[in-house]
């Protein structure tokens, strides 16, 4: 800033304003600073005709008394001396699009800077280091650059909240000097390097969160010094394991969340003395060995997530006290019987991908998904038999595709039906369309409205194709799996449809959300750290990821896994996890037509034809046999009379015509012998090739009814039916004249 400008700001403006506009309450130089601050923040609402500190006036200073929670807008002063001083500036979610002002340094009594959820850029000014700050929050902005070491000078600082920005660089070791610090929240930034050893001095810490960064090194042993710690959150921080045993000293912990900790396998850390624990997450931390029995004694526990580890052995009997707890033990190697209290709490407990015994599995499944299983006809699932519930799924039929409107209702798009997926069942959901889903996890610190839901809706206009497919999406706090169980064999293309509908508002704090999750298809990690916004190329289009799969055993498994990365606090806390809009799986082959008998299989047309032909043949044989049988009882004259009286569409051939056509039943023209008599090939005088079936001379008399049936058959036209041209009744001879078919078809039809 130029000297003239400084003079203008700090000297002239206050002089002009003093006594001219209003009776001065706030120190003059601080008014000038606020003007400069307003300019840098792009804060246009401050009314400089009003004294910010004059809360007694009708205007009430600079504060919005009606602001909703989370949208507070207030400047607070301390007026205990003759002069007022600004002590607090709160501008939450005001959509400010300026930068962080170093000019705050001109407010020497400033204790609180609260600029959460704006659209501010710039870096944290080192100048703030001179202030008596107690609370600093710039959560959810576009702040970049490093944390200045001068922040370590602020001995009064109790709360430093820098979450959800683009802050980079190493943690300055000077931060270890903060003697009163209670909360350091640094999650969702680009911080790197080790945790400085000076942090061993931060014995006053109550709340430390460093998730979703790029730190290196291990979780330091000196965390044992943080004996006042109540909340420790280290998810996808970059730090590697194991969790140091010194953690055992942190007896006040109520909330311990460590996840995505690579490094050597290690046993469960010693948490015996953390008797106030409420939320315990040790997910994907490469934990080995057995579950500790003492967790059953921690009666304050409300959420236990030990999923995606290598824990083995049985569930300790002591855990029966945890019946009110949400328990996620997904994807371990646990074995033995699932205790009945867990079965009874199926909706709060997820145990899939383990090695529990079969009998209990069934009971567990029945609790979790009412009517999902049929006790008969269990499907034998080999590779998926360790996914409880799936081993007994009964296919309603064979499907040649899979279409799901994730998180939404049933839809028809371009003639394709997308199944509804709007159930909010937390663990298992059975569509009855040959697929099931399993959604694991519980959204934490959930400030969404309504809380706890695993779907989301965006009603604002979606401009790209098929908007109805993308207005709803399914969410998962840990992992969501769609299992198709009844697909016909062959090669398919899996299309996963995504649209980021929770961070959609451009140029607001809401657009600053970052969502990452991993995509697995058939158990294989296909995309790591998938980010919808990165792939949509700017204009909010849908993203479709395609994967080829070969289905051999009817089963397809699509899994989205949230590996702790990305923001968790914008637009509000609790917005994170995996998100998917639709699944469409289409065959790369022409699927067989639907089989109405429901027997499935790839040969339904063939089955239909064979069935029709077989029935027809059976029918003809029956007619033939009855004619033959009755012909014996009735005088031939009666049969002939009956036939002549018929009003039917088939030709009557004379025996002489037939003899000419077949060369007097020349054995050389004989093409087969059925149970009821021989069949000869012949050619009528008009060139028509025929097959003549001779019913035995013992044939019984026909009557009107059966001859009528002959008439009906003759009128039937079907490419796969042998056409009956006519018959010949002569004395006790009954001959049926058929169309002649090449290639054994006739033989198949007539004997077959
Ligand atoms: C600022 O405050 C003055 C005095 O109360 C008022 O007359 C004026 O309308 C206000 N300006 C704005 C833009 O609100
Ligand atoms: C206001 O300032 C006075 C002295 O400057 C101090 O004693 C008092 O504690 C302050 N009040 C608040 C609420 O900070
Ligand atoms: C900041 O937002 C205002 C509207 O609130 C807009 O007029 C202005 O152009 C924006 N400034 C920048 C630098 O984006
Ligand atoms: C700092 O923040 C805490 C927690 O929100 C609050 O109780 C306290 O009054 C704040 N202190 C100051 C000086 O703003
Ligand atoms: C802050 O963002 C504005 C645009 O919104 C840009 O003009 C300005 O240069 C940025 N400032 C910094 C320090 O990045
Ligand atoms: C503030 O911090 C800087 C760098 O850490 C240091 O050089 C300076 O002496 C400190 N100032 C005060 C007043 O403590
Ligand atoms: C903190 O930890 C270090 C190393 O673990 C130790 O030497 C030191 O005595 C501890 N300091 C306090 C205040 O507990
Ligand atoms: C738990 O606390 C007791 C009593 O203070 C102590 O003897 C024991 O060693 C502690 N256990 C662990 C694992 O730190
Ligand atoms: C887990 O531990 C095993 C055994 O120490 C090791 O081989 C493996 O690489 C570890 N996994 C991860 C993800 O670090
Ligand atoms: C699963 O449990 C059986 C015994 O019930 C055991 O033989 C097998 O090794 C276990 N499998 C794994 C992968 O732990
Ligand atoms: C569970 O099944 C998967 C897929 O077949 C297999 O890779 C895995 O080893 C099995 N796990 C256990 C514990 O049996
Ligand atoms: C539906 O058809 C439109 C227009 O041909 C096409 O853009 C769109 O991608 C199709 N939708 C799906 C889900 O295939």
Contact 370/338 with Cβ under 8 angstroms? no
Ligand 6 atom closest to residue 149's alpha carbon, by position in its atom list: 5
Contact 384/390 with Cβ under 8 angstroms? yes
Which residue from 99, 142, 146 has its CB within 8 A of the most atoms of ligand 5, so it is best to mutate?
99
Same domain (yes/no): 564, 675: no
Assess whether the C-beta atom of 49 lies below 6 angstroms from ligand 1: yes
- pLDDT for 505 equals 74
Residues 6+ away with beta carbon under 8 Å from 719:
none
Nearest ligand to the CA atom of 242: 9
**Extended beta strands in 307-346, E state:** 310-313, 326-328, 333-336
- pLDDT for 551 equals 95
User: In angstroms, what is the span from residue 97 Cα to ligand 3's centroid?
Assistant: 6
Residue with tokens 């007896």: 251
Which residue from 333, 355, 357, 358 has its CB within 8 A of the most atoms of ligand 10, so it is best to mutate?
355
Which protein residues touch ligand 2 with a CB less than 6 Å away? 78, 80-81, 87
Structural domain includes residue 369: no
User: In angstroms, what is the span from residue 98 Cα to ligand 5's centroid?
Assistant: 7
Assess whether the C-beta atom of 152 lies below 6 angstroms from ligand 6: yes
Same domain (yes/no): 526, 649: no
User: In angstroms, what is the span from residue 456 Cα to ligand 12's centroid?
Assistant: 23
Contact 348/328 with Cβ under 8 angstroms? no
Residue 346, burial from CB neighbour count under 10 angstroms (0-12, 13-18, 19+)? buried
Same domain (yes/no): 143, 193: yes
Structural domain includes residue 382: no
Ligand 7 atom closest to residue 246's alpha carbon, by position in its atom list: 5
Q: Ligand 1 atom 11: the closest Cα is on which residue?
A: 47
The sign one gets for the Cα dihedral 23, 27, 28, 32 is negative
The rounded distance, in Å, linking the Cα atoms of 503 and 450 is 17
Which protein residues touch ligand 4 with a CB less than 6 Å away? 88, 111-112, 134-135, 159
User: In angstroms, what is the span from residue 413 Cα to ligand 12's centroid?
Assistant: 8
Assess whether the C-beta atom of 129 lies below 6 angstroms from ligand 6: yes
- The CATH number linked to 677 is 3.30.200.20
Name which of 209, 208, 356, 363 is nearest 291 in CA terms. 356
Structural domain includes residue 318: no
Ligand 1 atom closest to residue 58's alpha carbon, by position in its atom list: 5
Assess whether the C-beta atom of 121 lies below 6 angstroms from ligand 5: yes
Q: Ligand 4 atom 1: the closest Cα is on which residue?
A: 135
Nearest ligand to the CA atom of 198: 7
Q: Ligand 12 atom 7: the closest Cα is on which residue?
A: 465
DSSP code, position 30: H
Residues 6+ away with beta carbon under 8 Å from 56:
none
The rounded distance, in Å, linking the Cα atoms of 512 and 28 is 37
Strand order in the sheet with 490-498: 411-413, 416-421, 402-406, 582-587, 490-498, 543-551
Assess whether the C-beta atom of 383 lies below 6 angstroms from ligand 11: yes
Q: Ligand 2 atom 14: the closest Cα is on which residue?
A: 78
Same domain (yes/no): 679, 603: no
Phi, psi of 444 (to 5 degrees): -100, 155
Q: Is this structure's pTM higher than 0.85?
A: no
Residue 50, burial from CB neighbour count under 10 angstroms (0-12, 13-18, 19+)? middle
Ligand 3 atom closest to residue 507's alpha carbon, by position in its atom list: 14
> Which alpha helices (DSSP H) does 204-312 contain, by range?
none
Same domain (yes/no): 516, 625: no
Q: Ligand 2 atom 10: the closest Cα is on which residue?
A: 78
Structural domain includes residue 261: no
User: In angstroms, what is the span from residue 416 Cα to ligand 12's centroid?
Assistant: 10
Contact 381/462 with Cβ under 8 angstroms? no
Residues in the chain: 752
Same domain (yes/no): 515, 560: yes
> Domain boundary residue among 216, 248, 276?
216
- The CATH number linked to 38 is 3.80.10.10
Assess whether the C-beta atom of 245 lies below 6 angstroms from ligand 11: no
User: In angstroms, what is the span from residue 358 Cα to ligand 10's centroid?
Assistant: 12
Structural domain includes residue 423: yes
Six-digit token string for 649 = 């569409």
Nearest ligand to the CA atom of 96: 3
Cis peptide before 242 (omega within 30 of 0): yes
Same domain (yes/no): 150, 208: yes
The rounded distance, in Å, linking the Cα atoms of 75 and 64 is 9
Assess whether the C-beta atom of 59 lies below 6 angstroms from ligand 1: yes
The domain of 707 spans: 638-750
Ligand 10 atom closest to residue 333's alpha carbon, by position in its atom list: 14
Structural domain includes residue 325: no
Which residue from 129, 155, 157 has its CB within 8 A of the most atoms of ligand 6, so it is best to mutate?
129
Structural domain includes residue 518: yes
Ligand 6 atom closest to residue 174's alpha carbon, by position in its atom list: 5
CA neighbours within 13 Å on the CB side: how many for 634? 22
Ligand 11 atom closest to residue 382's alpha carbon, by position in its atom list: 5
User: In angstroms, what is the span from residue 417 Cα to ligand 5's centroid?
Assistant: 47
Nearest ligand to the CA atom of 182: 4
- pLDDT for 717 equals 45
User: In angstroms, what is the span from residue 382 Cα to ligand 11's centroid?
Assistant: 10
- For 542-554, write each residue's pLDDT tens digit: 899 999 999 998 8
Contact 695/734 with Cβ under 8 angstroms? yes
Q: Ligand 9 atom 13: the closest Cα is on which residue?
A: 262
Contact 615/608 with Cβ under 8 angstroms? no
Structural domain includes residue 257: no
- pLDDT for 376 equals 25
In order of 151, 178, 556, 623, the CA distances from 175 in angstroms are 7, 6, 51, 100
Residue ranges, the chain, pLDDT below 70: 1-24, 344, 346-347, 357-393, 425-431, 459, 461, 538-540, 594-651, 674-677, 695-724, 731-732, 742-751
Assess whether the C-beta atom of 460 lies below 6 angstroms from ligand 1: no
- The CATH number linked to 466 is 2.60.120.430
- pLDDT for 15 equals 44
User: In angstroms, what is the span from residue 112 Cα to ligand 4's centroid?
Assistant: 8
Which protein residues touch ligand 9 with a CB less than 6 Å away? 262-265, 286
Q: Ligand 3 atom 9: the closest Cα is on which residue?
A: 97
What DSSP assignment string belongs to 519-583?
EEETTEEEEEEE-HHHHTTTTT--EEEEEEEEESSS-EEEEEE--S-B-SSSSSTT--SEEE-EE
Cis peptide before 450 (omega within 30 of 0): yes
- pLDDT for 737 equals 78
User: In angstroms, what is the span from residue 277 Cα to ligand 4's centroid?
Assistant: 25
Same domain (yes/no): 86, 154: yes
Assess whether the C-beta atom of 220 lies below 6 angstroms from ligand 7: no
Q: Ligand 11 atom 4: the closest Cα is on which residue?
A: 383
Same domain (yes/no): 207, 143: yes
Contact 655/728 with Cβ under 8 angstroms? yes
- pLDDT for 635 equals 43
In order of 95, 208, 282, 567, the CA distances from 187 in angstroms are 21, 9, 17, 8
Same domain (yes/no): 44, 143: yes
The rounded distance, in Å, linking the Cα atoms of 609 and 594 is 14
Ligand 1 atom closest to residue 47's alpha carbon, by position in its atom list: 1
User: In angstroms, what is the span from residue 150 Cα to ligand 6's centroid?
Assistant: 6
Same domain (yes/no): 688, 551: no
Contact 581/421 with Cβ under 8 angstroms? no
> Domain boundary residue among 182, 216, 250?
216
The pairing of beta strand 428-430 with beta strand 190-193:
unpaired
User: In angstroms, what is the span from residue 186 Cα to ligand 7's centroid?
Assistant: 23
> Domain boundary residue among 216, 231, 252?
216
Q: Ligand 10 atom 10: the closest Cα is on which residue?
A: 355
- For 95-133, write each residue's pLDDT tens digit: 999 999 999 999 999 999 999 999 999 999 999 999 999
Six-digit token string for 675 = 């149970």
- pLDDT for 660 equals 81
Assess whether the C-beta atom of 335 lies below 6 angstroms from ligand 11: no
Same domain (yes/no): 679, 547: no
Assess whether the C-beta atom of 57 lies below 6 angstroms from ligand 1: no
- Could you give the number of structural domains in the chain? 4
């Amino acid at each position: 800033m130029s000297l003239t400008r400084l003079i203008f700001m700090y000297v002239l403006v206050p002089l002009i304003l003093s006594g001219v506009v209003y009776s001065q309450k706030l120190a003059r130089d601080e008014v000038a600073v606020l003007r400069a601050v307003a300019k840098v923040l792009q804060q246009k609402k401050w009314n400089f005709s009003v004294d910010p500190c004059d809360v007694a006036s009708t205007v009430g200073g600079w504060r919005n008394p009606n602001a909703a929670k989370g949208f507070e807008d207030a400047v607070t002063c301390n007026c205990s001396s003759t002069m007022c001083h600004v002590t607090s500036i709160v501008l939450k979610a005001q959509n400010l699009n300026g930068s962080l002002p170093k000019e705050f340094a001109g407010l020497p009594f400033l204790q609180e800077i609260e600029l959460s959820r704006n659209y501010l850029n710039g870096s944290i000014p080192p100048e703030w280091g001179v202030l008596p700050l107690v609370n600093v929050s710039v959560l959810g902005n576009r702040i970049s650059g490093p944390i200045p070491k001068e922040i370590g000078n602020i001995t009064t600082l109790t709360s430093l909240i820098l979450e959800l920005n683009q802050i980079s660089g190493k943690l300055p070791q000077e931060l270890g000097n903060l003697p009163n610090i209670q909360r350091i929240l640094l999650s969702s930034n680009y911080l790197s390097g080790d945790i400085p050893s000076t942090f061993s001095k931060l014995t006053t810490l109550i709340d430390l969160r460093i998730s979703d960064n790029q730190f290196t090194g291990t979780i330091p042993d000196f965390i044992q010094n943080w004996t006042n710690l109540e909340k420790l959150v280290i998810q996808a921080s970059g730090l590697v394991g194991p969790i140091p045993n010194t953690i055992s000293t942190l007896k006040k912990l109520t909330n311990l969340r460590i996840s995505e900790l690579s490094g050597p396998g290690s046993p469960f850390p010693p948490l015996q003395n953390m008797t106030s624990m409420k939320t315990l997450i040790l997910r994907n931390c490469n934990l080995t060995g057995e579950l500790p029995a003492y967790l059953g004694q921690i009666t304050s526990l409300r959420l236990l997530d030990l999923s995606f580890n290598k824990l083995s052995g049985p569930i300790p009997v002591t855990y029966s006290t945890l019946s009110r707890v949400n328990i996620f033990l997904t994807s371990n190697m646990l074995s033995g019987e699932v205790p009945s209290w867990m079965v009874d709490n199926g909706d709060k407990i997820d145990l899939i991908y383990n090695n529990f015994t079969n009998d209990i599995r069934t009971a567990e499944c029945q609790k979790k998904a009412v009517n999902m299983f049929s006790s008969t006809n269990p499907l034998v699932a080999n590779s998926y038999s360790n996914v409880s519930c799936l081993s007994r799924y009964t296919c309603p039929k064979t499907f040649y595709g899979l279409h799901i409107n994730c998180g939404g209702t049933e839809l028809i798009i371009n003639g394709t039906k997308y199944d509804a997926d709007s159930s909010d069942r937390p663990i298992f959901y059975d569509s009855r369309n040959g697929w099931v889903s399993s959604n694991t996890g519980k959204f934490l610190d959930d400030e969404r409205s309504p809380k706890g839901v695993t779907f989301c809706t965006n009603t604002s206009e979606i401009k790209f194709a098929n908007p109805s497919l993308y207005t709803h999406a399914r969410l998962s706090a840990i992992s969501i799996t769609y299992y198709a169980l009844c697909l016909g064999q062959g090669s398919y293309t899996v299309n996963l449809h995504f649209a980021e509908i929770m961070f959609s508002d451009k140029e607001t704090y809401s657009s600053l959300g970052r969502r990452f999750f991993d995509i697995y298809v058939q158990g294989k990690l296909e995309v790591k750290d998938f980010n919808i916004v990165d792939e949509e190329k700017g204009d909010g289009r849908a993203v479709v990821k395609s994967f080829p799969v070969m289905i051999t055993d009817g089963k397809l498994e699509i899994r989205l896994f949230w590996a702790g990365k990305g923001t968790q606090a914008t637009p509000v806390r609790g917005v994170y996890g995996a998100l998917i809009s639709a699944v469409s799986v289409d065959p790369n082959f022409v699927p067989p037509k639907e089989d109405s008998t429901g027997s499935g299989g790839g040969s339904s047309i063939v089955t239909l034809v064979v069935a029709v032909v077989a029935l027809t043949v059976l029918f003809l044989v029956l007619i033939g046999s009855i004619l033959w049988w009755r012909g014996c009882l009735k005088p031939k004259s009666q049969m002939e009379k009956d036939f002549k009286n018929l009003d039917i569409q088939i030709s009557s051939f004379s025996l002489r015509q037939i003899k000419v056509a077949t060369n007097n039943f020349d054995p050389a023209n004989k093409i087969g012998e059925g149970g009821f008599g021989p069949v000869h090939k012949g050619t009528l005088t008009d060139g028509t090739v025929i097959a003549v079936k001779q019913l035995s001379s013992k044939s019984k008399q026909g009557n009107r009814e059966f001859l009528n049936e002959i008439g009906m058959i003759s009128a039937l036209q079907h490419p796969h039916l042998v056409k009956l041209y006519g018959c010949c009744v002569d004395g006790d001879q009954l001959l049926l004249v058929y169309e002649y078919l090449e290639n054994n078809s006739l033989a198949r039809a007539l004997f077959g």
